[in-house]
Amino acid sequence: MAKSSVSRFRSDMLSKARDVLTETVRSTPLTSAPDAALMFPTLTSAQIARIASHGVTRPVTRGEVLIEGGQTDVPFFVVKAGEIEVIRPSGLGNLLIAVLRPAQFTGDISMILGRPAQMRLSVSESGQLVELTRDQMHDLIQTDAEISDVLMRALIHRRIALVTQGIGDALLIGSGRSAATLRIKEFLTRNAHPFKYLDLDRDADVQDLLDRFHVDRADVPVLICRGAAVLKRPSNQEIAERLGFNERIDRNHLRDVVIVGAGPAGLAAAVYAASEGLDALVIEASSPGGQAGSSSRIENYLGFPTGISGQELAGRAYAQAQKFGATVMIAKGAVQLTCEERPYGVRLDDGATIPARTVIIATGARYRKPSLANLEQFEGAGVYYSATFMEAQLCTGDEIVVVGGANSAGQAAVFLARTVRRVHLLVRSSNLSASMSRYLVRRIEEIPTIQIRTRTEIVALDGDGHLERVRWRDGTGGVTSHGIRHVFLMTGAEANTGWLSGCVALDEKGFVKTGQDLTEQDLAAVQWSLGRSPYLLETSRPGVFAVGDVRCGNIKRVASAVGEGSIAISFVHRVLAE
C-alpha cells in the first residue's frame, strides 16, 4: 500500500472511535483479504490489450478522481501502471475498500445494473490506465466470453463481500420487532444492495446517530443514504428511487418485449431475450427472485447438487440478464395491460405506460392468506410468508409454527428446525404424502424436533404489537392456546392476474390460459383474427404470452418457470417476424 494510503487508512480508523460504523472498519482493505484473488484477479497482457482495443489508454496523475460516489454512467478502468484507491465516501466517514495495482481492474456489479457508483475511485500513484465507457464495457462483456467470465466473476465476488460485510452507501436503523424494518432489510438484500444495519433495541450509540441526523425514535426504520439523505419509514419505491435503481431507464422507447415479473420465469425470459438480441425490459413490483427468492434452499433445480438459496439463484440470474443487456425496473408494479391496439402498453403504478411489441406475463402467484381477523397486524411481527436466513434469525431457539402441506412448507420446516427449539407443522389434510415430495416427507419424519399435526388449523392469533399466542383447532375439534411467537404461513398460492383487466382469458381460478387450453369462445371473446392458432404459451391476445406460476396448468416449480420463460422467447421471435 502506498504511504499516503496507509496513513489515510489509519487516521480513518482512529477517527471512527465514536463513529457508528466502527464495526465495519476493516484492518485491511479487501485487496489484502484472504479471498482477494477471487475479487481482484490480475489480467494477462493479452487480455489487457483486447480490453484496450475497446477504449482509450491515457496517463493519470496522483489525486485525479476517476469516479465519484453516486455518479451515474460509471466508466471502467484497467491499471497499466500506477495505483487506484477505492474509497467508500460518506458523511459517516471514508473507508478504504481496495487498492488496485497494475493488471487489476475497477468495477462493481452496480455498473452492470446501471446503478450509481457506491465508491469513490481516485489515483493514488500516477501511471497509465485503460478507460472504457459503460457502453464500451457492456460491448466487451457481450462479445468476449473469456474476459466476460473474468470480469463477471470478480464483480459478483466483490458484491458478495460488500453485502456480507455491510459495506455500502446505505445505513438502516430499525427494530427487530418492526415489520417495516424486516420489509426494508428484505428489499435491500434481495436487490443485493449492501447496507449496514443497526438495531434500536440492541446496538449502543444508535441514539447518538439518531440525534446527529435529527431523527426521532418514532421515525424508525430510517434509511440513511450516502451519509446524507435520510428516509423515514420509506416505501420500497422511495428506496429504489433514492438509491437510483431505475435511473437510466427510458420509459417511452418501444421494446421488442416487455416482461412483467422478475421471478424465475421472468428472469429466464429476460436472459434469453437479451442474449438473442431482443430489446427487453423487465418490470418488477418488488425485488428480483419472486417466490423462489424467499426459499432458503432449492434442492431440486438442475445443476445444483448441494442446493442453492433462492436469493443466490435470483441474484445470479439478475446479473446474467443485465450482462446481456436486459433492463430491469425495480419496485414498479404493472397495474394495467392496454391491449385494444398494438403496440400494447403496460401501465405502471406511477402512471407511466411502457409501449411493447410483445408482452410476457410472468407475475407468478402469492401466498393465500388464511382468514384470521388480525392477521395483517402481525405480518412481519410474528407472521411470515418466507423462511430465509433473515426470518430464521428472528426465531432462533424459539418454538414456531409452520402452516401448509406442500413442498414450500416442508422446506421451511426442515430449514428452521436447524435453529429453533421445536417446529409444529400444521396440515389441514390427514397426511403429508398427498401434497409433498417424498424426499421431504422422509426428511421431516427423521427430524425429532418437527411435530406434524394433521387435520389442524389456526383459528386465532393474539398479541400486543408482536405475536404472543396462537390458538389452533385439531382433528378432535378441540381448540388449544399456545405461547408461540412465530408463525410461517405457506398455504398455497393464487395468481397475480388482477392487473390484466380482462385483456386475456383466465381459468376459473384466475390463472392465465395459453395455447391449447384456449377454447373457441376464449378466442372469439377477444376477436382473435390471425389465420393461426395461439402458439404454445401464447394467451388469447396475439403476442402476449404467459409463463411460470401465473399460467394455468403450469407445474409450480423453479425449473418449469425457467423453462417456460426461455421457451416463450422463441415464440416472441416468430410474432415479431409476422
Binding site for ligand FAD (CB under 6 A): 260-266, 283-286, 290-292, 294-295, 298, 300, 333-334, 362-365, 386, 407-408, 411, 496, 499, 548-550, 556-559, 561
Q: How near is the Cβ of 565 to ligand FAD at its closest, in Å? A: 7
Alpha carbons 212 and 234: distance in angstroms, whole number: 19
Residue 218 has, within 13 A of its CA and on its CB side, a CA count of 0
Q: At closest approach, how far in Å is the CB of 262 from ligand FAD?
A: 5
Q: How far is CA 128 from CA 81, 156, 408, in A?
A: 5, 26, 54
Closer to ligand FAD at the Cβ: 368 or 421? 368
Nearer to ligand FAD among residue 224 and residue 359 (C-beta): 359
Using alpha carbons, list the distances in angstroms from residue 185 to 62, 344, 458: 39, 35, 28
CA distance 87 to 503: 51
Give the span between the Cα atoms of 369 and 495, in whole angstroms: 13
CB nearer ligand FAD, residue 301 or residue 528: 301
Closest distance to ligand FAD from the beta carbon of 312 (Å): 13
Q: Which is nearer to ligand FAD, 118 or 411 (CB)?
A: 411
Which cell numbers in the block locate residue 360? 410476457
- Secondary structure letter of residue 28 according to DSSP: S
The least distance separating ligand FAD from the CB of residue 566, rounded to whole angstroms, comes to 12
User: Among residues 77 and 384, whose Cβ is nearest to ligand FAD?
Assistant: 384
What's the residue count for the chain?
578
Q: How far is CA 100 from CA 37, 86, 97, 127, in A?
A: 12, 8, 10, 12
b/e sequence 201-229, b meaning 16+ C-beta within 10 Å:
eeeeebeebbeebebeeeebbbbbbbbee
Cβ atoms within 10 A of the Cβ of 350, count? 11
- Closer by beta carbon to ligand FAD, 324 or else 384: 384
Q: Which is nearer to ligand FAD, 442 or 532 (by Cβ)?
A: 442
Pick the closer one to ligand FAD by CB: 362 or 436.
Answer: 362
Three-class SS of residue 453?
strand
User: Taking the complex as a whole, how short is the minimal distance between the CB of residue 437 and ligand FAD, in angstroms?
Assistant: 9
Shortest CB 209 distance to ligand FAD, Å: 32
The residue among 286 and 514 lying less far from ligand FAD, judged by its C-beta, is: 286
CB atoms < 10 A from the CB of 342, how many?
Answer: 13
Task: Pick the closer one to ligand FAD by CB: 62 or 556.
Answer: 556
Residue number with CB closer to ligand FAD (75 or 565): 565
Q: Which has the closest alpha carbon to 9: 124, 159, 127?
A: 124
- Hey, which residues does 283 pair with through a beta bridge? 260, 329
Q: Least Å distance between CB 265 and ligand FAD? A: 3
- Helix, strand, coil % over all residues of the chain, rounded to 5: 35, 25, 40
Query: Least separation, in Å, of the C-beta of 354 and ligand FAD?
Result: 11
Specify whether the CB–CB gap between 98 and 41 falls below 8 A.
no
> For residue 139, what are the CA distances in angstroms to 144, 314, 538?
8, 24, 32
Q: How far is CA 109 from CA 76, 91, 114, 155, 253, in A?
A: 12, 23, 9, 5, 25
* In the complex, minimum distance from the CB of residue 474 to ligand FAD, in angstroms, rounded to a whole number: 25
**Helix, coil or strand: residue 412:** helix
Grid cell digits, residue 509: 381460478
Q: How far is the CB of 521 from ligand FAD (least distance, A)?
A: 26
Q: How far is the CB of 512 from ligand FAD (least distance, A)?
A: 11
CB of residue 13 to ligand FAD, shortest distance in Å: 41
Cell matching residue 302: 438442475
Phi, psi of 453 (to 5 degrees): -120, 95
Locus of grid cell 488496485: 100
Residue 119 or residue 362: which is nearer to ligand FAD going by CB?
362
* Minimal distance, residue 502 CB to ligand FAD, in Å: 15
Q: For residue 502, with 0-12 CB atoms within 10 Å meaning exposed, 13-18 middle and 19 or more buried, which class applies?
A: exposed
Instruction: Tell me how far, at minimum, the Cβ of 349 lies from ligand FAD, in Å.
Output: 8
Q: Return the number of the residue (54 or 513) whose C-beta is nearest ligand FAD.
A: 513
**Which C-beta is closer to ligand FAD: that of 151 or that of 387?**
387
For 462, the enclosing helix (H) or strand (E) is: strand 457-464
